[in-house]
C-alpha cells in the first residue's frame, strides 16, 4: 500500500496466493498471467489479462515423472487458503478458455456471414444488371418492331393513294395483328417492374383489365369504370402503355351513279371474276352496303366461281342466295365489309 500511495509504475511477479488475492482486490492494479496450454504445459507466449493464472507446477512435475509420493507431500504442504485459491483459479481459467473459444467461434461466424452477405449483394447486383440489360434489349427490339410496322403502314398508305383498294390494307392489318399478338406472347413472361397503384394492369387468365387501386398483402384491388375487383396480387400483369397512334387521313374518290347489281351471265369464269372484282371495288368506294350478283343457273360452274371468290374477297363480309322472288339460286346477295 505504501508503494501504491507513491504512484510508481512497476511489474511484479509472484506465486504467492496472498499477493494474487491482494492484486485481485485492488482496483488500482492490473493483473495478468503468462498463458500456457493446460494440456501440454507448452507456453503460448502471450499474457492473459484479468486473471492470476493457474499454477501448473504440480501437473508439470507429474508429467515429467516426479514420484507420486513426493507430489502427495507437496500437495499436503499447501495451506488451506492456497489450495482453495488454486482450485478457484483453475475453475476461472477453464471458464475463461471456454469463453475465448466461443468468442473466436463467434468472430469466425461473423466473418463468414459478412462474406456471405457480400456474395449475396454481388449476386443481386449482377441479377439487377442482367435485368436492366434484358429490359434495354426488349425495349430496343420493340422500338425496331414498331418502326418496321410504321414503315410498312406508310408503304400501304402510299399505295392506297395511288390505287385506292382496301385489299392490301386489310391484309396488312391482319398480318400486323398476328405479329403483335405473337410479340405480346413472347414478352408475356419477360421480367419487369412490379405494378404499383395507378398502373393499368391485367389479371392473368381472366382478361380483366383496370387501374390498380391498392395492394394489401396477397390481395389487390383494381377498378374498371364504376366497378372494383379484389384479385390475387400475384396474378397481376403490368400492361405497358402503347405509343400514341398517328392518325392519317386518306382521301378516296367516291364514284357516282354506281349500280347495285352486276350481270355476269354469258361470261367465262375468269372474265366474270375480273369484272366482279372491279364492280365490288367501285361499289365499296361508293359506300354501298350490299349488291346483287346475277350469275344464273346453267351448269353451276359460274355460280361456284362467284361464291369461291366472294368467300376470299376482302370486299365481302358475307353472301347469301337471293329470295325466290328476287332471283333465287341464280342471284347472290353480297354484303360489303
Sign of CA dihedral 156, 161, 163, 167: positive
Burial degree of 276 (CB within 10 A; 0-12, 13-18, 19+): buried
Task: Write the DSSP symbol of residue 65.
Answer: T
C-alpha cell at 243: 405509343
pLDDT tier at 225, thresholds 50, 70, 90? low
Residues 115 and 120: their CA atoms lie apart, in Å, by 9
* Confidence check: pLDDT of 205 > 70: no
Class of domain 193-242: mainly beta
User: Residue 292: what pLDDT?
Assistant: 93
Q: State mean pLDDT over 38-50.
A: 78
> Which cell numbers hold the place of 54?
493457474
Higher pLDDT, residue 35 or 18: 35
Q: What letter would DSSP give residue 140?
A: H
Cα–Cα separations (whole angstroms), residue 70 to 67, 83, 142, 198: 5, 17, 95, 92
Cross-strand partners of 221: 214, 230
CA atoms within 13 A on the CB side of 61: 14
The stretch 38-52 carries a mean pLDDT of 77
What does each C-alpha distance from 206 to 83, 129, 202, 232, 235 come to in angstroms?
Answer: 85, 33, 8, 12, 10
Residues of the chain with CATH 3.30.1370.110: 261-336
Q: Would you say 180 and 214 are in contact if contact means Cβ atoms under 8 Å apart?
A: no
pLDDT tens column, 62-72: 888 889 888 88
pTM score of the predicted model: 0.30
For CATH 2.30.30.140, list the domain ranges present in the chain.
193-242
- The Cα diameter of the chain in Å comes to 145
- Residues in the chain, total: 337
- Residue 185's pLDDT is what? 54
Q: Cβ(200)–Cβ(213) under 8 Å?
A: no
Note the Cα 69 to chain centre separation in Å: 79
CATH number listed for the domain at residues 261-336: 3.30.1370.110
Residue entry with cell 481459467: 93
Asked if residue 286 has pLDDT above 50, the reply is: yes
pLDDT tens digits for range 252-272:
566 777 888 999 998 888 899
At 293, the pLDDT band (50, 70, 90 cuts) reads: very high
Closest to 294 (Cα-Cα) out of 258, 271, 264: 264
CA-based end-to-end distance of the chain: 117
5 vs 169: which has the higher pLDDT:
5
Reported as a single tens digit per residue, the pLDDT across 130-139 is: 777 877 777 7
Cell 419477360 belongs to residue: 190
Predicted pLDDT of residue 50: 74
Please tell me the least confidently modeled range out of 9-18, 66-75, 198-207.
9-18
β-pair partners for 334: 291, 319
What pLDDT, on a 0 to 100 scale, did the predictor assign at position 189? 45
Percentage with pLDDT > 90 across the chain? 4
Nearest by Cα to 279 from 295, 266, 296, 260: 260
Q: How far apart are CA 201 and CA 192, in angstroms?
A: 13
Question: 80-104, pLDDT tens digit by residue?
Answer: 555 556 666 667 777 777 888 888 8
Amino acid at each position: 500500500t505504501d508503494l501504491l500511495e507513491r504512484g510508481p509504475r512497476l511489474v511484479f511477479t509472484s506465486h504467492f496466493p496472498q499477493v494474487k488475492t491482494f492484486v485481485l482486490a485492488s482496483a488500482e492494479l492490473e493483473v495478468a498471467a503468462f498463458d500456457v496450454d493446460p494440456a501440454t504445459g507448452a507456453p503460448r507466449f502471450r499474457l492473459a489479462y484479468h486473471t492470476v493464472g493457474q499454477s501448473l507446477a504440480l501437473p508439470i512435475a507429474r508429467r515429467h515423472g516426479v514420484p507420486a509420493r513426493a507430489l502427495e507431500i507437496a500437495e499436503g504442504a499447501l495451506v488451506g487458503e492456497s489450495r482453495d485459491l488454486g482450485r478457484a483459479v483453475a475453475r476461472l481459467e477453464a471458464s475463461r478458455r471456454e469463453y475465448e473459444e466461443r468468442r473466436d467461434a463467434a468472430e469466425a461466424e461473423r466473418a463468414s456471414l459478412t462474406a456471405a452477405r457480400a456474395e449475396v449483394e454481388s449476386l443481386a447486383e449482377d441479377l439487377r444488371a442482367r435485368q436492366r440489360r434484358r429490359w434495354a434489349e426488349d425495349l430496343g427490339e420493340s422500338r425496331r418492331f414498331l418502326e418496321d410496322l410504321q414503315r410498312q403502314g406508310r408503304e400501304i398508305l402510299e399505295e392506297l393513294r395511288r390505287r385506292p383498294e382496301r385489299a392490301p390494307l386489310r391484309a396488312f392489318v391482319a398480318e400486323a395483328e398476328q405479329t403483335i399478338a405473337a410479340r405480346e406472347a413472347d414478352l408475356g413472361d419477360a421480367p419487369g417492374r412490379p405494378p404499383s397503384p395507378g398502373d393499368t394492369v391485367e389479371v392473368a387468365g381472366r382478361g380483366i383489365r383496370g387501374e390498380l387501386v391498392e395492394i394489401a398483402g396477397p390481395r389487390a384491388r383494381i377498378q374498371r369504370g364504376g366497378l372494383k375487383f379484389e384479385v390475387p396480387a400475384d396474378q397481376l400483369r403490368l400492361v405497358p402503355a402503347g405509343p400514341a397512334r398517328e392518325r392519317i387521313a386518306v382521301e378516296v374518290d367516291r364514284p357516282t351513279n354506281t349500280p347495285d347489281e352486276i350481270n355476269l351471265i354469258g361470261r367465262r369464269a375468269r372474265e366474270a371474276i375480273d369484272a366482279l372484282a372491279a364492280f365490288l371495288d367501285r361499289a365499296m368506294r361508293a359506300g354501298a352496303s350490299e349488291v346483287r350478283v346475277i350469275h344464273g343457273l346453267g351448269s353451276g360452274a359460274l355460280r361456284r366461281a362467284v361464291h369461291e371468290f366472294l368467300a376470299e374477297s376482302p370486299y365481302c363480309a358475307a353472301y347469301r342466295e337471293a329470295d325466290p322472288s328476287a332471283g333465287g339460286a341464280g342471284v347472290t346477295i353480297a354484303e360489303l365489309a
